[in-house]
């Protein structure tokens, strides 16, 4: 199995900060280390599905599909 942290991530679409893949109990998402915006959470049911879910979250991030909690967003 390939490590999810080997997946290439572009800079944050909001602030150009670094993004990081997060894995939390069956959910993966990408979050900006600077401004805190993030992708939608992508779920997986089995450990074998985690890498594919992480690739989907990274794809959303790399397309600029991020959610910000800034006022007016």
Q: Which residue has the tokens 């990408």?
A: 30
pLDDT value of residue 18: 97
The residues, ordered by sequence, that sit 6+ positions from 2 with a Cβ below 8 Å of its Cβ are 51
pLDDT at 73 over 70: no
Give the model confidence (pLDDT) of 12-63 as tens digits: 999 999 999 999 999 999 999 999 999 999 999 999 999 999 999 999 999 9
Give the model confidence (pLDDT) of 1-14 as tens digits: 578 989 999 999 99
Of residues 31 and 69, the one with the higher pLDDT is 31
Parse the chain into domains and list their residue ranges: 4-62
């Amino acid at each position: 199995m390939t490590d999810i942290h080997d997946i290439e991530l572009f800079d944050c679409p909001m602030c150009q900060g670094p993004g990081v893949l997060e894995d939390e109990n069956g959910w993966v998402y990408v979050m900006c280390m600077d401004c805190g915006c993030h992708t939608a959470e992508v779920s997986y049911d089995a450990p074998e599905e985690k890498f594919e879910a992480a690739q989907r979250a990274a794809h959303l991030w790399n397309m600029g599909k991020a959610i910000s909690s800034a006022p007016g967003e």
